[in-house]
Structure 1
Amino acid sequence: MQNNKTVLFFILKFFGTYLILFLIYSFYLSKNQKTSDIFACAPVTKTVANKTKSLLTFLGYSTEIEQDTKELSVNLYVENKFLARIVEGCNAISIIILFISFIIAFASDFKRTALFILFGSLIIYFTNIIRIAIIVIAINKYPQYQNILHDIVFPSLIYGITFLLWFIWVQKFSKIKK
């Protein structure tokens, strides 16, 4: 009976946290994206595009970004060639919400949990920017592999990092009885 309560409590904490964060993020998007007349992405998506541009520029690529006026995306150009659209799904917020929900479902003390959420979220955020930069470079050099790079290889990277962080949390920091 205790095991059922533990599983039920985990499920309630996970989905409860996910639902709350999802609703907050949806509200944020509804207030910060513009979808009439001229489209405008939310600031977090624009920031990811700007950070990706900065990283690519640092790596020696002539890079430009511009808000697409016909859809919710920021267009990314490398060497004056359109290579990618950065959309809301590319900003890693949905993955960070999933990450936070899992960590809270297996929460430890407040300080440890809060610090792991903060640093884990930053790791996911910056890994995502690196991931976008690498995929753009790869697509520029190997356009014939665009689908496999975008749909399989690079999602595996971001989800792999998230899974690794979860694993570290459960093994090293959570209060799970071993």
Structure 2
Amino acid sequence: MKALLKKYKLVIRFIITFLAVYSILTVGYYFYLELSDGTKYFPDYATHLVANQTENLLDGLGYDSEVLPHENEPSMKVIINGKFVARVIEGCNAISIIILFLSFVIAFADKFKSTFLYCLAGSIIIYAFNLIRIVVLSAGLYHYPWRKEILHTVIFPMAIYGIVFILWMFWVNRFSKKRNINE
């Protein structure tokens, strides 16, 4: 047993670090959601911000858009040219995806500065890509409402998780190359 632990020490350390960081960030995010009272920013600040930025980008693309709090659920309604096309819910703000990304990168950490900068840059890339995803999805649902299922459940989740995977692979390959040079 001791030989196995020694042999797989790096793998075990990766798994434990990943689970610890993921748990800490997820619990922190849970408390953030619980403490959000929804009076100033409905349903919570991050989701509200994403919804407002979606509206601004849609307006910038020439759509007459509006984002309003949903009357019956904790979400924001995206309305284009008077037509309700989508809801921005808590899961649309990319925070959970960023937590997953950060957990992996930190579990596979390099030097503090490079890890911190990559976490920051990757989080910004994921957030921006997610925002663009919501804008394109909203416009797509406005023009092609019959394509809702494939757009929302296949293409756009594949795109957001695809960008996370590419960022992970870039990090691992960068880290691995540096590691191989030093050995």
TM-score class, shorter: over 0.9
Structure 1 counterpart SS, 2:68: strand
RMSD: 1.7
Query: TM-score, structure 1 length as denominator?
Result: 0.93
Structure 1 residue 173, shift from structure 2 partner: 3.5
Q: CA deviation at 1:70?
A: 1.7
Pick the aligned partner of 1:15 from 10, 16, 19. 19
- Deviation per residue, 1:26-48 (Å, 9 max, x gap): 0000001449xxx9310000000
> Which residue does 2:135 correspond to in 1?
133
What CA distance in whole angstroms lies between the structure 1 residues aligned with 2:36 and 2:92? Answer: 16
- Rg: which structure is higher? 2
Over 3 Å counting, the alpha-carbon distance change for 1:146 and 1:62 in structure 2 is: same
- Per the alignment, do residues 16 and 174 of structure 1 end up closer, same or farther by CA in structure 2, a change over 3 Å counting? farther
Q: Distance in 2 between matches of 1:174 and 1:146?
A: 40
Aligned to 2:49, what secondary structure does the other structure show?
helix
Q: 1:101 aligns with which of 77, 100, 103?
A: 103
Comparing 10-19 and 135-144, the one that deviates more:
135-144
Measure the CA separation in 1 of the matches of 2:65 and 2:18.
40
Given candidates 129, 152, 155, the residue that maps to 1:153 is: 155
Aligned residues: 175
Q: CA deviation at 1:175?
A: 7.8
Shift of 1:68: 1.2
44, 53, 56: which one aligns with 1:54: 56
TM-score of the pair, normalised by structure 2? 0.91
* Displacement after TM superposition at 1:5 (Å): 1.1
Q: Distance in 1 between matches of 2:49 and 2:177?
A: 35
Q: Distance in 2 between matches of 1:7 and 1:117?
A: 21
Q: Hey, what does 1:116 align to over in structure 2?
A: 118
Q: Quick one: distance in 2 between partners of 1:168 and 1:62? A: 39
Identical-residue share of aligned pairs (%)? 46
Of 1-10 and 42-51, more deviation after overlay is shown by: 1-10
Over 4 Å off, 4+ runs:
174-178
* Structure 1 residues 48 and 3: alpha-carbon distance in aligned structure 2, compared to 1, 3 A threshold: farther
The answer for unaligned runs of 5 or more in structure 2 is: none
